[in-house]
């Protein structure tokens, strides 16, 4: 999927001369956590977010700069903090030259950019014009919508089995002696694992295949050095209850 498929198109924006009070009120009224900032020509020049309101003189959370810290960081750092904490206009507190993506940017690249730069939203631009915005909420909505998709009714047991095996075979954690049995959409996973996280990964791989109704875990854990083994919790329960 790409940015244009999940982005919010009706973007609420502010200008650099918008007051801090107006920007905060706009965010609260519209239940959003960030606002792109456009200049008079409509060009994106910054973004203001909840994080820009955390260190503010109005609520007494501004940074305390001791003399020694000011000496180490230099007067410029303290001056910059003063503007962000005391400024009355968006242009004084916003993040300038924000990271952006295009309409064709993949969701994988979007998530990577968010994680690398610790940002929660990315303006989507076409040239120097903003055409949308992608936030963590948009990604969450995409996951929720895809999770509600109706399984493929044409998926038969053989098709399901082939897809599960193909998915697991591409991984680096494939259980030894993997065997997948599928009957009426009910999956049974058999094989040997040496890392318990592989168990969860195999179960997830099966659960995400269209047409799967249940997944039963019969994967046996083996300690490579000693040869000690443990059956799955499901198989142990069956064994103890007779």
Q: Give the pLDDT mean for 174-181.
A: 89
Picking from 40-49, 96-105, 204-213, 220-229, which range would have the lowest pLDDT averaged per residue?
220-229
Query: Minimal CA–CA distance to 157: which of 133, 140, 180?
Result: 180
Q: How far is CA 133 from CA 110, 142, 143, 148, 189, in A?
A: 11, 14, 17, 24, 42
pLDDT in tens, 49-93: 887 777 665 655 555 655 554 444 454 444 445 556 566 788 888
- Find tokens 């000690």 and name the residue: 228
Residue ranges of domains in the chain: 3-146, 157-241
CATH class of the structural domain 3-146: alpha beta
Residue 20 to residues 15, 58, 68, 72: CA-CA distances in angstroms?
Answer: 11, 11, 31, 30
Question: What percent of the chain has a predicted confidence (pLDDT) above 70?
Answer: 81
- Taking alpha carbons only, the member of 152, 233, 219, 163 closest to residue 188 is 219
Between 99 and 224, the more confident residue is: 99
CATH class of 157-241: alpha beta
pTM above 0.75, yes or no: no
């Amino acid at each position: 999927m790409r940015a244009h498929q999940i982005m919010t198109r009706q973007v609420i924006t502010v200008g650099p001369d918008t007051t801090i009070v107006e920007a905060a009120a706009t965010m609260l009224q519209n239940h959003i956590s960030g606002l792109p900032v456009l200049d008079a020509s409509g060009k994106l020049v910054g973004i203001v977010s909840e994080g820009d309101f955390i260190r503010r003189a109005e609520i007494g959370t501004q940074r305390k700069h001791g003399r020694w810290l000011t000496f180490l960081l230099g007067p410029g750092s303290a001056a910059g903090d003063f503007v962000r904490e005391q400024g009355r206009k968006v242009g004084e507190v916003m993040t300038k030259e924000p990271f952006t993506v295009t309409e064709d940017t993949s969701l994988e690249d979007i998530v990577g950019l968010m994680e690398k730069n610790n940002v929660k939203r990315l303006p989507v631009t076409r040239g120097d014009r903003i055409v949308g915005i992608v936030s963590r909420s948009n990604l969450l909505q995409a996951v929720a919508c895809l999770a509600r998709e109706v399984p493929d009714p044409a998926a038969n047991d053989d098709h399901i089995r082939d897809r599960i095996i193909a998915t697991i075979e591409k991984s680096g954690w494939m259980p030894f002696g993997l065997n997948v049995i599928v009957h009426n959409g009910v999956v049974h996973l058999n094989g040997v694992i040496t890392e318990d996280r592989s168990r969860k990964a195999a179960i997830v791989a099966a659960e995400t295949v269209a047409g799967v109704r249940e997944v039963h875990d019969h994967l046996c854990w083996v300690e490579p050095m000693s040869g000690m083994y443990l059956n799955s919790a499901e198989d142990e329960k069956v064994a103890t209850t007779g």
